[in-house]
Chains A and B, each alone.
Chain A
């Protein structure tokens, strides 16, 4: 019940395309859902986050869609760029500063 399942494991997208990464969770007590971006040799960094009282949050080219009834959330990267090539992790927690449960990660490669 504490798991967060993420798919796909890897994703190849052409420059300018839309990248979509999906996550599903079971624990309805989760109330904070961040996405982290990790470049090789670096630690993960917060990209965007959402709370379950909204269905969508957009920051620039990055959008989180949240479906509370289905217990799913997804990251959409519009107009994907080669600089977006990184590993993306979804996560969930109870409380914003508390411990995070991470998905398995998606390695995104954006081809020029």
Chain B
């Protein structure tokens, strides 16, 4: 069965902290994605990766970076967390011709 796991369901961080969100998929998918979900705005793409060590900016990359050292793992990094990064963060993966599968999400609160 398809599985995308995210390291935390809930996180509370302070402004200025460095935050790591981890995502792991067990489907040998080439593509991985990070979205943030906010009420009334839907899901917005932050970064995506089509291969190991590859990364592409999505629609809202400012304030974020990513790392993909292994095919199954895709990390989202908030270098210096700010209150406007309080959100639900969703990771997804897909192969080139298959649909995207989503993890359960991480709800991040930045105080």
- A44-B41 in contact (CB<8A): no
Measured CA separation A105–B43 after assembly (Å) = 8
- A100-B45 in contact (CB<8A): yes
Interface footprint category on A: 20 to 34
Say which one of B12-20, B62-70, B79-87, B91-99 lies at the interface with A: B91-99
Q: How far is the CB of B94 from chain A (nearest CB, A)?
A: 4
Residues of A contacting B: mostly: loop
Q: Which residues of B contact A46 (CB under 8 A)?
A: 99-101
Q: Does A28 contact B (CB under 8 A)?
A: no
The A51-104 residues at the B interface (CB cut-off 8 A) are 89, 95-104
Measured CA separation A43–B34 after assembly (Å) = 12
A43, A45, A46: which has the most chain B beta carbons within 10 Å? A43
- A44-B43 in contact (CB<8A): yes
- B40-A9 in contact (CB<8A): yes
Measured CA separation A100–B48 after assembly (Å) = 11
What is A's interface to B at a CB cutoff of 8 Å? 2, 6, 9, 34, 36, 41-46, 49, 89, 95-105
- What would 12 more interface pairs be, CB under 8 Å, given A49-B99, A100-B45? A41-B104, A43-B102, A43-B104, A44-B43, A44-B102, A45-B102, A95-B97, A99-B58, A100-B100, A103-B42, A104-B41, A105-B42
What is B's interface to A at a CB cutoff of 8 Å? 4, 30-31, 33, 35, 40-45, 48, 58-59, 90, 92, 94-105
